[in-house]
Chains A and B, each alone.
Chain A
């Protein structure tokens, strides 16, 4: 069992948890994820690890409540436990000194981005971070990202914080101002990653993205997470989750994310019926 040591609400429907998971914490590197199960009848959901603390054996997961499991999870409090956390899974981020790195985080995508940005900073890179969200409430980890960045830019779709516009506008603007980036790391909703990649491809900036498709086991056994990268089928769980963003077939990946949309609605209705509460419509983008 994995006890909750700490819980913090970062925004509407966004919760930070510290779980006791010493086995996972021991060898985890930035970029890796876990599969969690919150009850004996629960599904296995992949979540990228935002941080670990090897002193107390805890891992930090940031969860956006969009479906039944993530809503149920958000109800848990410090002292409660969940039965399963398996990991760390996936390949770690290839962190090296390249020069100037632009880290682009969209919404909850900033959670997996944070350890990578920190790693890049520690490796001696200059780090520019661009954090975007639909609205100010959905921005997370701004302070922490600022600590590991030489420069930080905020964008919101509705202009409630930072610049009004998209993260891609911010990238273009910086490049127009003469900034040179040796590497881009983009994590966020698939559609954001897709458009960041379209832009950085034109700008010839190598781009890493972190994908979060549907998974079951996370060890390469089910193949549910297959994505097309450079014309070849890859399993995000063992070959990724990070890939060369310029090679990823985002349209196929986004379509595949819809496989269980109808089921997710049913699960949510069933859950609402059980708990008697009326839940708001889900937020697109998926849990991370």
Chain B
């Protein structure tokens, strides 16, 4: 079923890879390159899912997740935090921020698509 997905990603290459893959699954895609803008878009456009990178030019992905999860609206989007590094502490941080999933960014993004399927 078609869902609205917001991708928060600074790298345009990574974004277009994700966009292509998720559009193929039938989803509609929104983009934000910064954390603050992502929170605004999440408020106004009410996406079903937010996929955010940990490192963004302004606030980090954990903060984006935390603030989205604190929305006082009826439908709070699900959040996947993605990372280029691997660190157990990061996974705990993602959990503390209320993320629904945490996964690595790789060139094929297959497991990310799988994670999306598991959530929406």
Instruction: Note whether A and B form a binding pair.
Output: no
Q: Which residues of A contact B (CB under 8 A)?
A: none
Q: Which residues of B contact A (CB under 8 A)?
A: none
